[in-house]
Structure 1
Amino acid sequence: MDFVTITKLLLLACVSYLWFRYKNNLQIKPIYGSQQTDSATGKSRKRKVLYPGPDDLTKVKIDIVAVHGLGSNVDWTWIWKDRTKHVHWLRDPDMLPAALPNARIMVYSYESRWHTKAPKTRLELCGEELMEDLHNFRTKTRDRPVVFIGHSLGGLVVLHCLLFADRIERFKYLPARTVGFLALGTPFRGTKMQTLAEKAAWLMAPAVTQDRHFLVPFGRNENFVGRNSILEQLLSRIPPSAKKDDCQRTAVEGLGGVGKTQVALEAAYRIRDQHPACSVFWVPAVDSISFEKAYREIGKAFGVQGLDDDMANVKSLVKAALSCESIGSWLLIVDNADDLKLLFTDTALADYLPFSRKGSILFTTRNHEAAVRLDIRPIITLKEMNNAEATELLRTGLKENQTNDTESTARLLEFLANLPLAVKQASAYMAKTGISTTKYLRYCQTSNKTMAKLLSQDFEDRGRYRDINNPITTTWLISFNHISRDMPLAAQYLKFICFLAEKDIPISLLPSGKDKLQKDEEEEDEEKEDELKKDEAIGILKGYAFILGRDSPDSFDIHRLVRLAMRNWLQGKGEWQEWTGYVIQRLADKYPFPEHENRTEAEQMHRQALELREAVLGQEHPFTFDSMNNLANVLDSQGKYEEAEQMHRQALELTEAVLGQEHPSTLNSMNNLALVFRSQGKYEEAEQMHRQALKLKEVVLGREHPSTLNSMNNLANVLDSKGKYEEAEQMHRQALKLREAVLGREHPSTLDSMNNLANVLGSQGKYEEAEQMHRQALELTEAVLGREHPSTLDSKNNLANVLDSQGKYEEAEQMHRQALELTEAVLGREHPSTLNSMNNLANVLGNQGKYAEAEQLFR
């Protein structure tokens, strides 16, 4: 029941009472007596509930507070009687309770017998005491609307109560919740109280002069959880009274499915409860028809003339009506304001947004550019739920045994990225099937195809539009369609990105704006213009929250479920093979061979190649093999030998099957796999594969080909590791001679052969020759590669070992300490080479009798 109806019924009750008095010729019989006291405290009772009884309080929707006048008493002010009949119009079942059965009717008492003695308190304090009494009594019902009835001086007590409440922050809710004030014979005009009365009337004018409307198409979400900080921000900004000199514009932006509509819906109901004089209107901006339909309903509520005319511009008529301040305060919620074309070009819905200093507009959008163009500052970004909120949402409607595995529940929510729509969709599916979080998680992890199917399941959601499918994949593809239309390059980038790892995607990996990625391949005159197009496309994807920025401006992340939805879309459109091939080629072009100088970039590319592995295994593409080999080499350089072996095996199987055993890519894969065998101590397998690779390379490439010499060197290393020193020495001398002739004496491969030959000489006890060669190799390596290069550190470590073997402990210790310090700084404390240096230093310390320090290093 709205406050206008309540006010009319109160007036009707007053008229009914006067008619009853007239018909029965009743006369007032004042009874002057003491006020009732509270039996528990002995104090004068301030307030008394007349209706309803304690058993009927559940039906109460509004409070009515009656305050008596000068020289009156709460027990008889509202009662008229003669010898036979009594009428208490606030309490009698045929009077006010009959007109307002859902009201709680109370009377309030204060010391008013001024004609017999001076009052103990001033009038202002009477109002303050009324406020305090209501505040304490209505602890659990402070949001309930209130109507005051003031008889004579009681009206001024009410007036001071409201003015006092408006000054005190903790009491300000009461004037906001006051929806009516009936003053019966209160002496305002012609008195000093007139100014105060006018101010009180101004405070309550919205409640008694304008109709309040609430046009929201969804019921309140009883399962709404969390989002407290966002709601606090909104409720401090979106009430029209928050900015009295402007029509406030606020936007909540975020990824599709993050819960923007639900937050706006909850805000709408809280505004309704906390600001009863403020109308609330909900307008969907999903298309022009929905927008105009909602505007028509607003126009009908205000009785706007001309809405049904055939040529009427409904949006213009309603805009004009809302822009008129005389209609009172309002909040307009424009939901799903995403489509730039709809908002600013075709139908230009933004042109029909009203302006009133008594109005406020709240937008929800997944498009940051839309919020910027609507001139909104600042913009509130809504992100995924926290763990506690997501857990509570998931468990809604489920049985306890479906979520009792807390570990599986936590892992499922992490998998769903705590995205509200995905969590709600999972909860709906679990409720329908009765499965547990453990089983749902297993479904998700089975394959991308299964996961995509789950995310495509429709489900009932009363808080979303019935004419729009609500699966999460559909939600995002609506945004993707907008991007494809407005910024094709951004859509192409999203197709490209979805094959990469979720985190730390380098911007440099993205093709440029004039790359083959664009079908028309328009050539740009300026490289800067090309970069501008690239930046704009990336900005669009960030604006839709499809990709997320990182601390470093050179890379970004992609949302996990967006990536999955995009992959599913590509498979459905038959574009999977085309795009995986293109991404593989791009990655192969940009993927550096792992070297010391580019190890950071190589590691970054490694993460991307790892994600590509599953997609490329089923494709027979030469770039696939290069990418997999490069990736495996990065893993090998990081000491991740098992992962490297697995990938090298896959690459070798593919190249043999597709290109044949004698193809250079196959021979390269064979050599790489043999190397990782040696790194793990699998010397027999390493020797066998190196011999096979060397034999084939000599036939296919020739004996002096750098790749052949590389295999010769690698085989000699394995022979050295197995203790076949003479054969290893012979092969190393041969490789060194050929490399010097073919590549030159200072080539890194030549220096590598020199170092390896010195090692095998040392293994045979030929220490002087080994020392001489190691010193020569170290000097050249430092000059060519630098002091901190891993090859230089290996040379330093090898020379120190030879010195140790000759009993030159002090020089060996000094060199090992240098090698360990540099290796730890360059490669990290846990790298196998660092641990090897640590072990060598401990050995030379032990040889010198420095057992305590040696033991510490060994530990």
Structure 2
Amino acid sequence: MLEKGLHVLFDSSRDSPDHDIPEIDIVAVHGLNFMNKPDHAQDTWKAGNSLWLTDFLPGKLEKPARIMLFSYNSSPAISASALKLDDHAKNLLQCLELERQKASERHLIFICHSLGGLVVKEALIEANQNSRYRPILEATRLLVFFATPHRGGNYANIGDVVAKIVKFGSGNRRSNKLLDELKRNSDSATKRFAQSRHIYERCLIVNFYETIPYRGLGIIVDQDSATLGLPGSCEEQVPVDADHSSICKFDSIDTANCKLVLGTIVKQIGLALDIKPGNKHWTVLRPASPIFTGRQDIIQKIKSALTSYRPNTQKRFVITGMGGMGKSEVCLRVADELRERFWGVFWVDVSSDSTAKAGFSAIATMLESKGTGIDDTRLALSNIDPKHPWILILDNADNPDIDYQQYFPSGTRGAVIITSRNPKCSTYATVGSEDLNGLNKEHCISLLRQRIKSTSSLPEFDSGDAARVVDILGSHTLAILQAGAYIAHKYCSLKEYPDIFKEKGERLLNFDLPQDQSRYRNAYATLEASAEALCNMQSEQAQDSLCLLQVLSALHYENMPLDVFQAAWNGAQEVRDEAEAEDEDGDDRVNYLKYLTDEHVSQLPDFLEPHSRTWDTYRMSKAIDLLESLALIRKSHIYKCDTVSMHPLVHSWINLRQTQAEREEYLDRGLCIFALSRYYQPDWRPYRDRIENGQLQEAIDLFEYVVQIRKTTLEETHPNRLTSQHELARAYFENGQIQEAIGLLEQVVEIERTTLDETNPSRILLQELLAEARQNYAEMTDPQPASTSSTAAEQFEPEKRRKARYKLSSAKRLFTGKHPSMSSISLIRWAKRVAMASHKNELETVDEGAED
């Protein structure tokens, strides 16, 4: 006789010839013990001496498994068994929790007979409501029911029928709550059915139903009761040539019923384990790291908090901690593990206003919202049917001067996760917060080992040497990954790394690290080692990698589309073709290409081979591969587009180590790449699209609104006010409102006449634009072209004028289509200052928090 509880019948690690570690757990749960047999838990599945769960099933499974029996007192003839279903269900959950402590994520399959199916459904309902047992629910992949009365039995008085059976078996008429579960339309059974339907969305169902009467009593649980009527392939309904008792008993593997049951179960296990995540909307742009280590307790805490029942509160969880500690990776892992449970999982990088706008715009597009602004998207999320749960992840909420509540959808629906380096962000939490510190030493060593082994065949890994590396890195996750990549490239051994690190740390003393960056000195030292390794390599690939790293430093660190480089190469070919056409016919065309020159092309990186007539990705691809192998960047594939990203700390480190001249040089290169990428125009700025699509009046309305606001808030000489007036003039010009354009340009030119030197590039180019507008107006009204003074232009040397033109035209291009990969700084202001700086020979300091 088996005692109550869970019993392991078969374990592949113990009982199979190969001793494979189990990949699935199978739990068999019996039904009513009418006859009060002591071995009912086993006898339910036995015919003669054959217990098919151990004798036949293991040999048919494609994956190693552990098979268990759950035994509970289900005899309605014994007063001690007068327990409710939920008591049996809780006992099952407690036993599973203990048995699966070291394998809580292992796939789980339940095989149930009759009332055992109701016990399992009750257990899954409890697991859904109790975070302690939720891992059991999340691991469940297949439910197999044999004659389970999902909607009561065939007879309205089935309880009385069972009572007769009990009387026949034991002479006891004692009633029991368990009997009521078999009555059709009983309140408890109907309620459980309604409660448990949503559980079936996460797994597959097999319902075997009886077709032979039981001992003259007829069909105990008919097809209608034994099936759920789920849509599509979610449920498999299988008739078996057996009665209510023999439906799950087989004395030979060769019987027709055994072949049918085993074949169906094995097939459905294969399908169940291949189920893809069931959510509809997913905007998480990169996968979790394959060598993610530790943090399981924190991940479980977040999952429990976000799935808890809080109908009157929007669930917000905040993760704080130093950069490079793995906050985003924890979020990625949580998103992956909760994906099946949420209709929508949305990710927004809120490190800058532009990236936030881009992220919310992507969500709006996915939701088919009429508006694509942040407020439009927040409103759309707030009004999503509560049957469709969603998570919004706000990553990199680091700026202490920003109130991130502006990004929260209103109301109580949904869940929000926030990551921040600022500990004060924890005040936004409603269901919990976590300050992420370093991994424990065991996990740090494991992470270092995995990083080294992932790209290297180095055989030696001394745990003592690894512990010393971990100690000097202060258990900083990003620093460990960088060190592992460096060692994997065989630049040094594990034992030698501490000396390398010390040397690079001393070099950092020459950097003027801001106070808020000094705590990242360990991470920066590991990055310095990788940079020096690249510098010491003489190969073309290494030099291209350094150049690409510098170019990326002028851009935003997240998801830079690689297509833009090919678009820039295309632009370079257009410039060349236009120049050749101009040489042939002397046509000085008034179009976009007029503002692009060979100076732009000369700024493109060598790895793009801009002077070649054939586009070849080889050099750029090799450079990307080398940087990725050193963990300096990561490559992703998003919406059919390849992108590259880098950790924010890597981005900060590059900018910190650059000289002023290098910053200017690679800013210029970045500007030129975007200026030349004229064909690459996703909806970076809504009003740019409106102009391209001919919706000029709507664009003009927007520009006029901006100009009016800035007139009341900014001085007339403020660069932002002048820029918005300039863009409004351009919209007027393209809409044929030439007089309005001229009037506005004259105002701007007059202001710059009093504030800028007459040889200043910005002033000269505006004068040229005004002259162009006047010429167009004159051609419309007077056959004689309008004249304009060219004194300033004539006084400015041709070479400087040419350089000023390419810098300011780059700014113009960026302002009308600012790419989300550019940094959060207002690039139009920055680029105009670059143009002025080329005349002043200095770059003015730009306030990173400035508004556009």
State the TM-score, normalized to the length of structure 2.
0.38
Determine which structure has more spread, i.e. the larger CA radius of gyration.
Answer: 1
Instruction: Specify which structure has the bigger relative contact order, considering alpha-carbon pairs within 8 angstroms and separated by 6 or more residues.
Output: 2
